[in-house]
């Protein structure tokens, strides 16, 4: 692998580009999907190839190669470098890529490597979860269970001298249950995804995830649609994570600065929220789906304090943005696979806990909503606008939880909503997710404590 | 003269690739059969994609991707199905994929509703204008020229303190071959091109953005000036966003919103497999009136040069034109071979997959909404108080049909004219109500990737703003 990368880097530089990097990936995945007890999808795949970048004077070019012989890598390297040279005259600003270089070999320590688990055992596990959901209640109408694992071996090298070998494994179990009562149909969705071996799925929660999603689907049969309006809302840790991810995380990705596409552009070092607000992105947490030791440019990663006491202190950087903004690199550049160039992305993103008991937060909120779980969310950092949707929630009436509600959407302005966070809980948890940006999906986690937002528009029927 | 020579060379290359992919498919199917598959299918694809990205008004990067890979589906005698894919077309990797698919099939829990892979041996329908050689031949210089014209047109349409345009051009040319044990053998070459412009503008302490795009299978129909000036004009119109007093009011969905809400949110609900599982908000409704009689929708895979057009679907089954809604009545739903066999009905040829990397699911080809009368201005002029809904990223809950969509771009209408843009505003309605409440369909048809649609007016939806 080192030889193949070296051949490509030398070829890029020889053509005249000033910086080159290479990612060589060899990944395998297994996906087992069952529905109503039978196999709907048994999938095995191998992703094998190299992504090569060339840079000169502010112009980037990217190409991919699946022929990883030194000859194949040289040819792709040359063609990528020529592409960079062809566009260099049209760039906005000339600069150079510089930064620290790293040499390392990281193996992920696991007890039961997913590659050693037979297809039979993976199917048996998925079948157990699917049966569990179906057997939960007579109103369960359809069950769907997805087992997935991704094992990745990645080698990253660049012309600054970086040479890093990485390994990663992400096992996942998802349970989706549809419950039916007359014409009323509701869906419960639960997933656990972690970093490690198959043993991670032998823990308490993943072993009972079928019941968890079935219970939610059945509970939702008695749910009502919340009436649209402006509410005081308490977010559970899952939804708080989604809000932080959508309402703030994306806007703090530093590639927005050279592009002038974030409403945080003039806010670095300034106050962006109340002083009890602390937001962190930390890829160094052990066993988390969003964790990694080095990013996809081979930069050693570390914890980032995005917001400290209400002030925007740090951004998420790639090699390029740390040069352009003259800030320290922090290893946030990630790619979905060798087929894509890395971009600044979040890892495990969360709100730091405060000093409220979660129960007190609810009793202190006279009329409002407790919202839980998430369906999805998205944002446009250039407008500063975001929306996210809770999976379910409860009305808060006279400080008590009453009726269950479903599919509640919230919309807001990034800076506006942070100012409305008036109380933050002591509890803490993270939920796994997948984040999409520029057509690339990467694994991440998000969370925090329970937190309250005053007067936010909530959509309903 | 030089041009003729070039095109001959080009055609020769294409024939070669078609043939090569079909041969690979046959080899992989044979290997899977030797390893114990009763039926096998190979989906082989090779493509070249070229992209230029513009950031802050200048070219930032270019990329060229050559992708080739193969997906193998194997069925064993007991009925188990396995699938494997690989991102290369080298023999050792193809054989590994074939072996893995058979191994997975052997240990899978057989689906009693699975009958067989499809078979077909006739000719495929002729679908024209899927491949424009000019797209494949576009040089990086010409591509750079086109995208910079888009950026210039955007800037010309904006008069603000600061404008930063992001833009992208992408060309794609690829060949797909599908082969199975039951006689299916088809290959098709297609090309497409996409340009977009997204300006972020700042003016008087206000910041906003917009987005416009065009996608086509014909290079000549790409209009960088239209994309740029529309994006620029819309961004300017988005300045000064305000919240409004909520309530129930009419909402005009422009084609980009119809694409998300009807194209995605209704197109996904007429998926036969989802209906069979009871996971769609449309169930047991075939032959019933489920929408306003103003609404007629066709799934048409034969539109010349249509983005979703195809002679055969992702299982190699010939495609057709399928009436979905006529005068509000649900006439048909969309099938692939599995769902059609399960219901003992005709396969509509709507199997789809992302590429060689996925199993066939079901999706519309081109969802065509019959136009009515009137321009967008006419529709606006007929509304006393309402919302012109121009962009959203939202989709409904497919099981319940509940929709709560953020107005990412939209205008407040008062007394027949546009007052100001809106912010922090959501539109809430159930899809079943939305379909029934379409009381007006415009004539302003636009191709938005796989939905071909005019604007439509929903008589009343819940609007929340604050």
Q: Which of 410-429 (A) contact B at CB < 8 A?
A: 411-413, 416
How confident is the prediction for chain A on average, in pLDDT? Answer: 94
Q: What is the CATH number of the domain that holds A116?
A: 3.30.2290.10
Sort out which chain A residues have CB atoms less than 8 A from B426's CB and list them. 228, 387, 409, 411, 457-459
Six-digit token pair at A391? Answer: 């999976």
Residues 6+ apart with CB under 8 A from B346: B335, B340
pLDDT band of residue A75 (cuts 50, 70, 90) is very high
Asked if residue A327 has pLDDT above 90, the reply is: yes
* Residue B14 scores a pLDDT above 50: no
How does residue A377 score in pLDDT terms, banded at 50, 70 and 90? confident
**A339 and A371 part of one domain:** yes
pLDDT band of A460, cuts 50, 70, 90? low
Q: Which of B63, B393, B404 sits opposite A407 (nearest CB)?
A: B404
Kindly report, residue by residue over A200-244, the tens digit of the pLDDT.
Answer: 999 999 999 999 999 999 999 999 988 888 999 999 999 999 999
Q: What number is the average pLDDT over the span A381-390? A: 87
A229 and A216 in a common domain: no
pLDDT at B15: 54
Flag whether residue B85 sits within 8 Å of chain A, measured between CB atoms. yes
Question: Is residue B233 scored above 60 in pLDDT?
Answer: yes
Q: Is B381 touching A (CB cutoff 8 A)?
A: no
Q: Which residue of A has its CA nearest to B465?
A: A457
> pTM for the whole thing?
0.90
A285 interfaces chain B, CB cutoff of 8 Å: no
Last residue of a domain, one of A197, A220, A243: A220
Q: What is the pLDDT of residues A19-42, one digit of tens each?
A: 999 999 999 999 999 999 999 999
Q: Is B310 on the interface with A (CB under 8 A)?
A: no
A412 to chain B, closest Cα gap in Å:
5
Mean of all residue pLDDT scores within chain B: 93
* A240 and A114 housed in the same domain: no
User: Hey, which residues 223-262 in chain B have their CB within 8 Å of chain A?
Assistant: 238, 243, 246
**Structural domain range at position A259:** 225-459
Residue B332 contacts residue B352 (beta carbons within 8 Å): no
Q: Give A258-292 pLDDT, tens digit per residue.
A: 999 998 999 999 999 999 999 999 999 999 999 99
Among A residues 181-220, those touching chain B with beta carbons less than 8 Å apart: 185-187
Interface test with A, best of B66, B464, B465 (most A CBs within 10 A): B464
Residue pairs between chains A and B whose CB atoms are closer than 8 Å: 256
Residues A143 and A75 in one domain: yes
Least confident of A75-89, A97-111, A122-136, B425-439: A75-89
Are A294 and A232 contained in the same domain?
Answer: yes
Task: Output the 3-class SS for chain A.
Answer: CHHHHHHHHHHHHHHCCCEEEEEEEEEEEEEEEEECCEEEEEEEEEEEEEEEEEEECCEEEEEEECCCCHHHHHHHHHHHHHHHHHHHHHCCCCCCCCCCCCEEECCCCCCCCHHHCCHHHHHHHHHHHHHHHHCCCCCEEEEEEEEEEEEEEEEEEECCCCEEEEEEEEEEEEEEEEEEECCEEEEEEEEEECCCCHHHHHCHHHHCHHHHHHHHHHHHCCCEECCCEEEEEEECHHHHHHHHHHHHHHHHECCHHHHCCCCCCCCCCCECCCCCCCEEECCCCCCCCCCCCECCCCCECCCEEEEECCEECCCECCHHHHHHCCCCCCCCEECCCCCCCCEECCCEEEECCCCECHHHHHHCCCEEEEEEEEEEEEEECCCCEEEEEEEEEEEEECCEEEEEEEEEEEEEEHHHHHHCEEEEECCCEEEEEEEEECCEEEEEEEEECCEEEEEEEEECC
When pLDDT is averaged across residues A157-178 and rounded to a whole number, the result is 97
Domain count, chain A: 2
A122 plus A263 within the same structural domain: no
Instruction: Using pLDDT thresholds of 50, 70 and 90, give the confidence band for residue B447.
Output: very high
Instruction: Based on the fold, state whether residues A60 and A129 are members of the same structural domain.
Output: yes
What's residue B3's pLDDT? 28
State the pLDDT confidence band at A461, using cuts at 50, 70 and 90: low
Position B450 pLDDT exceeds 90: no
pLDDT at B16: 76
Average pLDDT score over residue span B68-97: 95
Q: Give the closest of B97, B108, B466 to A42, CB-based.
A: B108
Q: Which residue of A has its CA nearest to B79?
A: A39
Last residue of some domain: A172, A200, A220? A220
Percent of chain A's residues with pLDDT above 70 = 100
Residue with tokens 């992305």: A345
Asked if A94 has any chain B CB less than 8 Å from its own CB, the reply is: no
A220, A243, A258 - which closes a domain: A220
pLDDT of A97 > 80? The answer is yes
Q: Does B402 touch chain A (CB under 8 A)?
A: yes
Q: Which of A58-72, A329-343, B5-19 has the highest mean pLDDT?
A: A329-343
pLDDT at position A379 over 90: no
> CA-nearest residue of chain A to B57?
A92
Looking at the fold, whether A253 and A124 belong to one and the same domain comes out as no
Do A159 and A211 have their domain in common? yes
Kindly state whether residues A256 and A374 are assigned to the same domain.
Answer: yes
At B9 the pLDDT is 33
Complex-level ipTM: 0.88
Residues A131 and A182 in one domain: yes
One domain for residues A106 and A254: no
Query: Nearest CB to A407: which of B62, B101, B402?
Result: B402
- Residue ranges and CATH numbers for the domains of chain B are 2-230 (3.30.2290.10), 241-466 (no CATH)
Which chain B residues are within 8 Å of A253, Cβ to Cβ? none
Tell if the CB–CB gap between A43 and B84 is shorter than 8 Å: yes
What pLDDT digit, counting tens, does each position of B324-340 carry? 999 999 999 999 999 99
């Amino acid at each position: 692998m080192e030889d193949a990368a070296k051949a490509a880097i030398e070829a890029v530089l020889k053509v005249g580009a000033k910086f080159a990097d290479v990612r060589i990936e060899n990944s395998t995945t297994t996906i087992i999907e069952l529905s109503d007890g039978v196999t709907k999808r048994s999938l095995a795949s191998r992703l094998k190839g190299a992504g090569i970048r060339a840079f000169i004077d502010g112009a980037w070019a990217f190409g991919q190669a699946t022929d990883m012989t030194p000859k194949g890598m040289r040819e792709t390297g040359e063609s990528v470098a020529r592409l960079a040279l062809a566009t260099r005259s049209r760039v906005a600003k000339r600069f150079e890529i510089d930064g620290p270089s790293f040499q390392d070999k990281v193996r992920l320590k696991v007890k039961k490597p997913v590659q050693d688990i037979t297809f039979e055992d993976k199917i048996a596990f998925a079948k157990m979860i699917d049966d569990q959901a179906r057997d939960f209640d007579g109103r369960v109408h359809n069950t769907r269970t997805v087992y997935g694992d991704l094992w990745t071996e990645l080698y990253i090298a660049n012309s600054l001298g970086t040479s890093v070998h990485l390994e990663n494994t992400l096992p996942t179990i998802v349970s989706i249950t549809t419950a039916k009562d007359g014409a009323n149909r509701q869906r419960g969705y639960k997933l656990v995804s972690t970093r490690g071996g198959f043993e991670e799925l032998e823990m308490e929660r993943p072993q009972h995830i079928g019941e968890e999603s079935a219970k939610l689907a059945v509970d939702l049969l008695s749910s009502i649609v919340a009436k649209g309006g402006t509410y005081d809302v308490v977010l559970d840790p899952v939804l708080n994570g989604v809000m932080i991810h959508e309402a703030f995380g994306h806007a703090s990705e530093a590639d927005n600065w050279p592009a002038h596409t974030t409403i945080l552009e003039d806010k670095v070092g300034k106050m962006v929220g109340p002083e009890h607000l602390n937001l962190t992105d930390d890829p160094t947490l052990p066993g988390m789906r969003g964790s990694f030791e080095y990013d996809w440019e081979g930069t050693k990663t570390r914890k980032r304090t995005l917001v400290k006491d209400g002030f925007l202190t740090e951004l998420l950087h790639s090699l390029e943005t740390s040069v352009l903004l003259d800030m320290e690199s922090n290893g946030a550049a990630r790619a979905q696979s060798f087929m894509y160039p890395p971009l600044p992305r979040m890892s495990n993103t969360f709100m730091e806990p405060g000093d409220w008991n979660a129960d007190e937060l609810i009793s202190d909120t006279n009329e409002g909503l407790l919202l839980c779980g998430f369906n999805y969310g998205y944002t446009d950092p250039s407008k500063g606008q975001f929306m996210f949707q809770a999976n379910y929630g409860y009305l808060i009436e006279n400080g008590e939880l009453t009726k269950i509600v479903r599919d509640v959407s919230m919309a807001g302005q990034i800076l506006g909503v942070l100012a409305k966070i008036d109380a933050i809980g002591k509890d803490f948890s993270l939920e796994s997710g997948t984040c999409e940006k520029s057509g690339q999906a990467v694994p991440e986690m998000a969370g925090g404590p329970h937190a309250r937002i005053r007067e936010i528009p909530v959509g309903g029927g | 003269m030089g041009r003729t020579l070039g095109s001959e060379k080009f055609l020769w290359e294409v024939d070669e690739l078609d043939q090569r992919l079909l041969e690979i498919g046959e080899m992989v199917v044979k290997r899977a059969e030797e390893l114990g598959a009763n039926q096998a299918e190979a989906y082989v694809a090779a493509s070249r994609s070229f992209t230029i990205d513009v950031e802050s008004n200048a070219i930032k990067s270019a990329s060229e991707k050559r992708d080739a890979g193969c997906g193998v589906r194997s069925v064993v005698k007991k009925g188990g199905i396995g699938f494997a894919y690989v991102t290369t077309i080298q023999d050792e990797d193809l054989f590994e994929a074939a072996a893995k698919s058979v191994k997975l099939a052997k240990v899978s829990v057989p689906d009693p509703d699975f009958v067989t892979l499809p078979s077909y041996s006739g000719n495929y329908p002729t679908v024209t204008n899927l491949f424009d050689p000019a797209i494949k031949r576009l040089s990086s210089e010409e591509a750079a020229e086109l995208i910079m014209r888009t950026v210039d047109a955007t800037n010309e349409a904006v008069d603000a303190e600061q404008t930063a345009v992001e833009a992208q051009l992408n060309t794609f040319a690829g060949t797909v071959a599908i082969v199975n044990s039951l006689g299916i053998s088809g290959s098709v070459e297609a090309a497409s091109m996409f340009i977009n412009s997204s300006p972020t503008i700042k003016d008087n302490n206000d910041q906003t953005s917009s987005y416009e795009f065009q996608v086509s299978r014909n290079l000549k129909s790409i209009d960088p000036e239209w994309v740029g000036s529309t994006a620029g004009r819309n961004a300017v119109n988005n300045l000064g966003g305000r919240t409004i007093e909520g309530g129930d009011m009419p909402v005009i969905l422009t084609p980009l919103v119809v694409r998300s809400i009807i194209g995605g949110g209704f197109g996904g609900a007429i998926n036969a497999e989802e209906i069979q599982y009871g996971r769609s908000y449309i169930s047991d409704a075939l032959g019933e009136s489920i929408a306003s009689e103003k609404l007629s929708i066709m799934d048409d895979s034969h539109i010349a040069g249509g983005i979703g057009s195809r002679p055969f679907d992702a299982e190699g089954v010939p495609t057709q034109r399928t009436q979905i809604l006529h005068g509000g009545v649900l006439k048909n739903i969309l099938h692939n071979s599995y769902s059609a066999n399960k219901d003992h009905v005709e396969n509509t040829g709507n199997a789809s997959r992302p590429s060689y990397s996925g199993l066939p699911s079901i999706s519309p080809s081109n969802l065509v909404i019959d136009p009515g009368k009137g321009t967008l201005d006419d529709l606006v002029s007929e509304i006393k108080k309402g919302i012109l809904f121009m962009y959203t990223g939202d989709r409904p809950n497919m099981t319940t049909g509940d929709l709560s969509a953020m107005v990412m771009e939209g205008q407040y209408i008062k007394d027949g004219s546009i007052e100001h843009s809106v912010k922090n505003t959501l539109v809430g309605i159930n899809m079943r109500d939305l379909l029934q409440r379409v009381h007006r369909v415009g004539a302003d048809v636009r191709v938005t990737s796989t939905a071909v649609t005019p604007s439509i007016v929903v008589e009343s939806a819940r609007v929340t703003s604050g």
